[in-house]
A and B are shown apart, each in its own frame.
Chain A
Amino acid sequence: MSGTDTIERLLGARFAERAVEASPVADPGPAILARVDHLHRRRRRRAMAGAGTAVVVAAALVALVLGARHQGTNVRVANDTTTTTAPGCAVSSTCEPGRVDVVVVGQLPPTYSPTSGTGPVQPPGQHVVVLTFTSSRRPVHTIGTSTRVLTVRVTTSSTSDADAFESQVADWTEVRVGIHPARATRVVVGAGTPAQSRVSYLQVRLSPTVTLSLVGEDLTTDQLIEVALSITVR
């Protein structure tokens, strides 16, 4: 038997074994079917209104609760209100149909300890800003157990010393967006480019909670950070 035959035999066995292991979670059929009628009705409504095919008019409900925790700055988006809970931090948001713009100005914790608390342990010299969004509204695009698909645009800039911030943020190496930090979609952004031009378009499924982590190296602990998030519901 040739080496190629052996490989093919191994692959066949491996794939078959893997397929048996894959057990789809409880059949989401009823859930997806329940959405069918809704989707059709919405499509008809859109056609009648001449709204085209790509626009989902979903007034996003926004609220921000900013809290500086040991691992970073946490923001919760729940309702159409804005709340600031941490001294030295400010949050603003705008809300239009189908779009949520969130601007967060937070301060990295002055005594960040990479090994304390329950947050993700980061190597020394790294800091994480965690933004957690919670939508109180059922996603329009819910289908089965999945959730809505959003486009998230992430930009970073500074409100204090722009030059210093830019040089520090130039070392930011990754942006994660996802349902849970461990399962987040990670996008590697190029190092050395100006923070203002650092724009990442990400496809995420926005579950009730989405966490966005910005991991930066060599950030000073008193650096003011502005993170602008633009979320467009499609």
Chain B
Amino acid sequence: MSQPRQPDLAFTELYRARYDGLVRLAAVILDDDEVAEEVVQDAFARLHLRWDHVEDPPSYVRRSVVNACRDVLRRRRVERAFLRRTRPVERPAEPDYLGDALAELPARERIALVLRHYEGLSEKQIAEALGCPQGTVKTLLHRGTERLRKRLEP
């Protein structure tokens, strides 16, 4: 193989530095390690193809991962609604109230909560990652927390 070009080295460095962290972020959002890895690899593949045109690669790849997670969560909600209509609900031996409540949250609320409480991002940073105004992030965080509180209240 020929000597990698300069952009390839930068890409390699970013990949090595951020891959694990992004997989963990996606796994927390999606609660599925395998899909998380796929999402992150796709994001890096996209970044690689657009490398010359991307101004801030770390932000780009994180936003790309967040967007992909959103798509997965949306699809999952549709699937769940369909399965609920067609199959009897199986009750797990040990109920996971918080997990169930999180799974019921709209995708953006769940992602906002993860970025806030796992990544520790500010509202401004979350707004950048989600591609929405800062005020919307405030609303998402508030609504998400309230929804969880109501679901978990005895």
B15 touches A12 (CB 8 A): no
Chain B, interface size: which category?
35 or more
Chain B residues in 8 Å Cβ range of A23: 33
B151 to chain A: closest residue by CB: A7
Q: A22-B36, A149-B42, A188-B79 are in contact. Are A3 and B149 (CB under 8 A)?
A: yes
Is B123 part of the contact surface with A, judged by Cβ < 8 Å?
no
List A109-150 residues whose CB lies under 8 Å from chain B: 141, 143-146, 149
B118 touches A36 (CB 8 A): no
B28 touches A19 (CB 8 A): yes
Is A55 part of the contact surface with B, judged by Cβ < 8 Å?
no
List A1-35 residues whose CB lies under 8 Å from chain B: 3-4, 7-8, 10-12, 14-16, 18-19, 21-25, 27-29, 32-34
B148 touches A146 (CB 8 A): no
Contact with A along B103-142 (1 / 0, CB 8 A): 0000000000110011000000000000000000000000
Q: A3-B153, A10-B98 are in contact. Are A15 and B117 (CB under 8 A)?
A: yes
Query: How far is B36's CA from A24's CA once the two chains are assembled, in angstroms?
Result: 9
A15 touches B118 (CB 8 A): yes
Chain B residues in 8 Å Cβ range of A7: 145, 148-149, 152
A31 to chain B: closest residue by CB: B41
| Number of chain A residues close to chain B: CB under 8 A | 41
Is A153 part of the contact surface with B, judged by Cβ < 8 Å?
no
- What is the CB-to-nearest-CB distance from B72 to chain A, in angstroms, rounded to a whole number? 10
B28 touches A173 (CB 8 A): no
A11 touches B148 (CB 8 A): yes
Chain B binding surface SS class: helix
Query: How far is B38's CA from A144's CA once the two chains are assembled, in angstroms?
Result: 10
Query: How far is B6's CA from A218's CA once the two chains are assembled, in angstroms?
Result: 60
B1 touches A146 (CB 8 A): no
B41 touches A36 (CB 8 A): no
Query: How far is B33's CA from A145's CA once the two chains are assembled, in angstroms?
Result: 14
A143 touches B4 (CB 8 A): no
A19 touches B24 (CB 8 A): yes
Is A94 part of the contact surface with B, judged by Cβ < 8 Å?
no
A-B contact pairs, 6 of them (CB 8 A): A14-B99, A29-B19, A33-B8, A144-B41, A149-B42, A173-B86
Taking Cβ atoms with an 8 Å cutoff, the residues of B that contact A are 1-2, 4-5, 8, 11-12, 15-16, 19-20, 23-25, 27-28, 31, 33-34, 36-38, 41-42, 44-45, 48-49, 75, 78-79, 82, 86, 98-99, 102, 113-114, 117-118, 145-146, 148-149, 152-153
